[in-house]
Amino acid sequence: MKTLKPVYLEVVSKMLTVFHQFYAGDLLFEDGGLRKKYRNREINEYPDDLKEEVLALSEWIRELSSTYQHRLVIRVIDAQSLLGLYKSIRHRFRQTPTFIVSGKETYTGWDKAVLETILDRHLDLAWGNTVSQPS
């Protein structure tokens, strides 16, 4: 009997990053709601187009997770991190968002139909289904 394995999807994109160190007085900040205000202020300093891109991507990832459920494992990688740099060199891409499917195939862009076609093909291969080729 063949073991059913999920397809791995790595999403490399720009992320909103908030740096924070924990201090003893942080509990007071949390109780007073000051931490949330501080983080919101930091996030609001980012350009609107980047915030919109991150929001659109997070919605897309939620849709993929809901559609593919247990058949897909999603990992989000900050493009500006060392791992993001490594992935961009390893898979030879410069633009974001880039989707790396099963560590093999990459797609850069915002076309949901293209990405879902790639995912379906990899799921068919992973789950042993026959892949029908268009004639």
Instruction: Give me 35's structure tokens.
Output: 């931490």
Residue 132 lies in a domain: no
Place of tokens 């989000």: 76
**What string of DSSP letters covers 59-106?**
HHHHHHHHHHGGGEEEEEEETTSHHHHHHHHHTT--SSSEEEETTTEE
- pLDDT, tens only, 121-130: 999 998 876 5
Residue 25 lies in a domain: no
Give residue 108's domain range: 7-18+51-126
Q: Does 78 or 2 have the greater pLDDT score?
A: 78
Which CATH number goes with the domain that contains 101? 3.40.30.10
Report the predicted TM-score, pTM, of the whole model to 2 decimal places.
0.78
- pLDDT, tens only, 9-34: 999 999 987 665 555 555 444 555 55
Q: Quickly count helices (H) and strands (E) in the chain.
A: 5, 4
Q: What is the pLDDT of residue 135?
A: 43
- pLDDT, tens only, 97-128: 999 999 999 999 999 999 999 999 999 998 87
